[in-house]
Amino acid sequence: MKGRKGAVVAINPSTGEIIAMVSLPDYDPSSEALEEEWKNLAESEDYALLPRATQGLYAPGSTFKILTSAAAYENHLEDTVLEDTGGFEKDGIKVANYNDKVYGEMDLKQSFKVSSNQMFCELAYNMGGDVILEMAERFGINKEIKFDLKTEKSRIEYDKMYNMDAAMVGIGQGKLLVTPLQMAMVGATVANDGIMMKPYLVDSVERANGTVISETQIKSLGKVLDYDTAEFLKELMVGSVEAGTSVRASIRGIQVAGKTGTAENETNKTHSWFVGFAPAERAEICVAVILEYDGTTGGSTAAPIGGNVMKKYLETVGKN
């Protein structure tokens, strides 16, 4: 992370085991250090006491296009072709592509690679608020995550979602906030053929003599997507790493799937996101990375961190 504010969550898609979880800035939790530094920690504008990985709430930006793509596939819109003119404008909403880029005629796969805001606003607008909300809630948004640590609930904060709201949520903006843990679970669900696993930190608890007091039972939270939908999303995410915005998450000799995000917020500095997993066809690790108020793009900063975490983990597993 090189001193950046933010979080990383790494999870085993097939079991829900948390491989690594980091929140920065951090602090020394020893009683002596807390007593000495409490006033500074409590008053700091860095919010070091906030466990960002589980309780930080952020607009997910284009990482949410994973969910919009899932809804599009289920509604038989995967072959939709659009003339990308550089932005979306309807019902008083105006959204430009990143750097006002104009891509011309594109299908969904090409749009996912370049992360066209126009395409995904159009898709979400046409599908409507009910469809986008239903997909989000299937992935756990608006629901509590039962976990070993306290978590904040990811949420969509509309009393009713209209088409214009769906257009914004479809690109990860609007009244939508998620935790890094939530987005790691989104990626892990796609990697695990559409089945979401309950995340856990503690494998087992033992006495000093080795007697096992308790063991965590691996548990499925249910089938979020059918196999074909999950495979379609994997294909999109592999394309993003091989020839799209996520290319800096690539690992030599290993097929990686991923999606970047660059999320606007209340400041003029964007959040940078990456969600991805590897190896793509039988994932051993899924990673979510957010760089808070980083002012960069997910492809330039968050994707390399995600790729590096996955690479180091797979090297370690290989050595064992």
Q: Distance of CA 126 to CAs 59, 71, 77, 134, 303, Å? A: 22, 11, 10, 15, 30
Catalytic residue among 14, 31, 62, 250: 62
At residue 276's C-alpha, the angle toward residues 270 and 277, to 5°, is 165
Determine contact, residues 264/59, Cβ cutoff 8 Å: yes
Q: Identify the burial level of 316 via C-beta atoms within 10 angstroms of its C-beta, where 0-12 means exposed, 13-18 middle and 19 or more buried.
A: exposed
Which pLDDT tens digits describe the chain residue by residue (320 residues)?
A: 988 999 999 999 999 999 999 999 988 888 888 888 887 877 777 788 889 999 999 999 999 999 999 999 999 999 999 999 999 999 999 999 999 999 999 999 999 999 999 999 999 999 999 999 999 999 999 999 999 999 999 999 999 999 999 999 999 999 999 999 999 999 999 999 999 999 999 999 999 999 999 999 999 999 999 999 999 999 999 999 999 999 999 999 999 999 999 999 888 899 999 999 999 999 999 999 999 999 999 999 999 999 999 999 999 987 65
Phi-psi region for residue 190, left (φ > 0), alpha (ψ -120 to 50) or beta? alpha
CA distance 119 to 97: 9
DSSP string of 92-127, one letter each residue:
TEEEEPGGG---EEEEHHHHHHHT-HHHHHHHHHHH
Task: Choose among 63, 57, 27, 225: nearest CA to 134.
Answer: 225
93-131 burial, b for 16+ CB within 10 Å, e for fewer?
Answer: eebebeeeeebeebebbbbbbbbbbbbbbbbbbbbbbeb
Burial 165-196 (b: 16+ CB within 10 A, else e): bbbbbbbbbbebbbbbbbbbbbbbbbbbbbbb
Domain boundaries, the chain: 6-202+216-319
**In the CATH scheme, what architecture does the domain 6-202+216-319 have?**
3-Layer(aba) Sandwich (3.40)
236's tokens: 């999109």
For the entire predicted model, the pTM comes to 0.95
Contact present, 251 and 311 (Cβ < 8 Å)? yes
Asked if residues 67 and 139 have their Cβ atoms less than 8 Å apart, the reply is yes
* DSSP secondary structure code for residue 247 in this structure: G
Q: Residues with Cβ < 8 Å from 310, sequence gap 6 or more?
A: 10, 249, 251, 256, 276, 277, 278, 285, 287
- Angstrom distance (rounded) from CA 169 to CA 161: 9
Nearest to 301 by CA among 313, 311, 291, 293: 291
Catalytic residue check, 62: yes
Q: Where does residue 92 fall: left (phi above 0), alpha (psi -120 to 50 degrees), or beta otherwise? A: left
